[in-house]
Structure 1
């Protein structure tokens, strides 16, 4: 709608201009348009990244395994042990499903098979950068959740002070346990973390972790608010964690912003939807030379990240031909060991030797770069 202007008139008393009712009507229309635009603009009040489970760079599923910790949807970490196993599967939202407020494309399912021991545990977690984020602050956690059969859910905030920081980590269970049913429902949980007086933040990797406890033995009873052994699956969607005393409606960010936030912590050269290790040329690093004498050569290239990483990442190359980690593929289709140099938060150099004499030496590889907390 075009801006509406009030006619003030030409007389000093304004009697030949708009009446009060017309003038205020125009002002109200202008205000409503501005207010509506402000509400529809994306914000960054959600402390979590990928709370809508839109981004899945690594994979769209993880098989059931007792394997410690694994990342699934970007920034979301599954952990299990003590004989408990977990699995993850991306779920597609059915068009027209009114369970969701933001019309997302995906949500996530986490499967749990309890080990049934005192040391059993399974969690779904996200680490928020910075140990100080919630110190002495009030916050609200809201999310959609359902299960295959009614279960309990524990919530914990864990403050991790980083390298050379205060030890041990501080645990703040947010009891009591929640009763989760078989239909998607929005849960709202006030989060309380006291001021971290006297604590020291280390030189790196400090964080504030949100843990959803899915299964727990006696060893973790205090952290999980007494959660019992449980097996089955949980589904999560529209997870929002915000400062303040009011839980607002889920606030999705544009996909391009969400992906950039995720890539601060993890990035790879493969296109979205292409599994790591797949034979696929799109996006691979290629170093190519022609017209040189027949001999064996080292061939390399710089690779640049789309998003500056939060810290120097762990870079893993994958041979183009076979998807084998630690390799580059030469022009003959043969994998050869890759080397990395000058790895930084914005780029790295990758090189390898060709497998034999050729007048057209070239090498290519995909890669992943991991700077998770």
Structure 2
């Protein structure tokens, strides 16, 4: 089977200027080309809309180059279809491997039953047990205390991403945050700016407001208008003013998880904001927004899952601890093949919310809109030709050498 990233160039093609119909000679397009692939003749590039047969395909828009007959060509396989089957199988296997074994029980289960990581559930008593290496742990309530100062030991999905502030792809420093600028992933300063720092899992907010835009559709909700939502934080040292959409509430200072229930009045995406309610600094941690009228326990998602959620809005090629645009070496840089006036693009490891704004950087100097030739280290000017949610489709390569690979770093931003 043909594979993603391999080029296809068997036979010749003919296409008229302005036409979307392409005819092949001695071609086998039916099994080797998909909608979304890129076809290049000379310096003209077009996207494939559909493949009708081994010798006929249709373009998304009319051919912008001159009429060609019996011409050599190259097709770059950028359709996500080439990856779909393999990716689906890998994701399914990973999902299945994470599902724990549940065992019904009445009362505490015998240590002779189950394996490490199994969960025994006693529905009559509303408790569950987790199996250790050889013995079962103590009963854990599935109900627990509720209310503004408490939290149930059950769990509900956190509508915030990076609620514990641990992911920092931009390598943002502690301190002043300019208005609208991003700090930790998905968190930015409101219009008046802010001053915030993180030590471990504890945020210190000295001034201003930090916020996150909640994409309601991401969590399966068409709207959260008129739906009770509970906001909770850990160990707030002073009162916090919480805004969800246009409705505000107060989380009072105290130890443990402290919460407030707010019912938004607006539909669509919701601006979630945290502001200190009193003078001086305030500390808190592990922020959670959930649907429902009571707070449930904090439970972090697996680190890789949380990172992938963040990468839906922002991602980069650099190491996690390297700031974008920094002078660095070639490690983790990506490469593209120059063909004519174009350099082939790059598929994002995580699909993005929308077509992102992409910046590319020279891997050694950090200079924007430059690539580095793999074989000689020579610099080539290049800009992004087009991009969508799944990949950078191609680059305009103004001074590249045909057939050579060029290296670069990138950032892709699709924040709300």
TM-score where L is the length of structure 1: 0.63
> Which residue of 258, 269, 276 maps to 2:324?
276
Structure 2 distance, partners of 1:193, 1:144, is 22
Structure 2 distance, partners of 1:44, 1:272, is 29
Relative to 1, partners in 2 of residues 1:326 and 1:235: Cα closer, same or farther, differing over 3 Å? farther
| Matching of residue 142 in structure 1 with residue 213 in structure 2 | no
| Matching of residue 36 in structure 1 with residue 107 in structure 2 | no
Q: CA RMSD in A?
A: 3.9
| CA apart distance, 1:283 | 2.4
Match of 2:261 in 1: 190
Match of 1:157 in 2: 244
Relative to 1, partners in 2 of residues 1:335 and 1:49: Cα closer, same or farther, differing over 3 Å? same
Match of 1:287 in 2: 336
| CA apart distance, 1:344 | 0.7
Relative to 1, partners in 2 of residues 1:338 and 1:110: Cα closer, same or farther, differing over 3 Å? farther
| CA apart distance, 1:261 | 1.1
Match of 1:249 in 2: 297
SS at match of 1:258: helix
Structure 1: stretches of 5+ with no match in the other structure? 7-20, 93-105, 113-121, 159-170, 215-226
SS at match of 1:61: coil
Match of 1:266 in 2: 314
Q: Is the 8 A contact 2:226 2:264 kept in 1?
A: yes
Q: Is the 8 A contact 1:321 1:335 kept in 2?
A: no
Structure 2: stretches of 5+ with no match in the other structure? 1-100, 122-127, 132-139, 143-153
Relative to 1, partners in 2 of residues 1:179 and 1:366: Cα closer, same or farther, differing over 3 Å? same
SS at match of 1:72: coil
User: Structure 2 matches for 1:62-101, cutoff 5 A?
Assistant: 62-64=174-176, 67-81=178-192, 86-92=194-200
Q: Is the 8 A contact 1:127 1:208 kept in 2?
A: yes
Relative to 1, partners in 2 of residues 1:111 and 1:320: Cα closer, same or farther, differing over 3 Å? farther
Q: Is the 8 A contact 2:212 2:273 kept in 1?
A: yes
| CA apart distance, 1:305 | 0.9
Structure 1 distance, partners of 2:317, 2:187, is 20
SS at match of 2:181: strand
Structure 2 distance, partners of 1:145, 1:270, is 34
SS at match of 1:257: helix
| CA apart distance, 1:369 | 0.9
Which has the bigger relative contact order, CA under 8 A and spacing at least 6?
Answer: 1
Relative to 1, partners in 2 of residues 1:145 and 1:24: Cα closer, same or farther, differing over 3 Å? closer
Q: Is the 8 A contact 1:145 1:234 kept in 2?
A: no
Relative to 1, partners in 2 of residues 1:24 and 1:313: Cα closer, same or farther, differing over 3 Å? closer
> Which residue of 368, 392, 400 maps to 1:325?
368
